Structure 1
Amino acid sequence: MELLDWGYSRRYNIKAVFDRFPNSLVVFRMIRDYYFVYIVNWSEDDPIVTRPDLKQMELLLNQELGTLGEYRKRKTYIEDAGTV
């Protein structure tokens, strides 16, 4: 999956589009020092968005914005890495 486009919107949200879901707009919000998926405005023209898709979206956006280090420090990420 690739991040096609992103931009800031109201209230410090970020809207992004990914190549796998080109018709669905993904809205991210900042928590602490990283971004997470807040909502997906899903289009029926795209495949269903799964939890692994959401995690990959978060990784890609945080990498793009330089907040990947903070994203990887969060407790949930560390727990997920231990189960892989």
Structure 2
Amino acid sequence: MLLLQWGYTKKYNIKAIFDYCPNSTVIFRQIQDYYFVYIVNWSEPDPIIDRDNLVLMEQLLNKELGTLEAYEKRKSNQSNVLT
């Protein structure tokens, strides 16, 4: 999957288009120091977007913006190991 284009919206969200689903617009929001998928404006000609696709989209956008390290260190990504 490739990130084709992205840009900021009026409310500091990011709108992105990926080659996997070029007719669908993906809206990202910032939380702390990284971005996550907020809404996908899905278009019927595109394939169905599953959770794995959403994670890949988040990784690609955060890599592009230089926030991938913060994304990978987020609390929800940490394994809950009991000692």
Report how many aligned residue pairs link the two structures.
Answer: 79
- Aligned partners of 1:27 and 1:53: how far apart in 2? 14
What's the TM-score, normalizing by structure 2? 0.92
- Aligned partners of 2:74 and 2:32: how far apart in 1? 10
SS at match of 1:43: coil
**Which segments of 5 or more consecutive residues in structure 2 lack a partner in the other structure?**
none
| Bigger Rg over Cα | 2
1:5 is aligned to 5
Shift of 1:78: 2.6
Q: Which structure dedicates a bigger proportion of its chain to strand?
A: 1
1:22 is aligned to 22
Correspondence 1:77 to 2:77? yes
- Aligned partners of 1:77 and 1:66: how far apart in 2? 18
SS at match of 1:70: helix
What's the TM-score, normalizing by structure 1? 0.91
Following TM superposition, where does structure 1 have runs of at least 4 consecutive aligned residues deviating by more than 4 angstroms?
A: none
SS at match of 2:22: strand
1:67 is aligned to 67
Shift of 1:75: 2.0
Q: Which structure dedicates a bigger proportion of its chain to helix?
A: 1
SS at match of 2:59: helix
- Which residue identity lines up with residue 6 of structure 1 in the other structure? W
1:82 is aligned to none
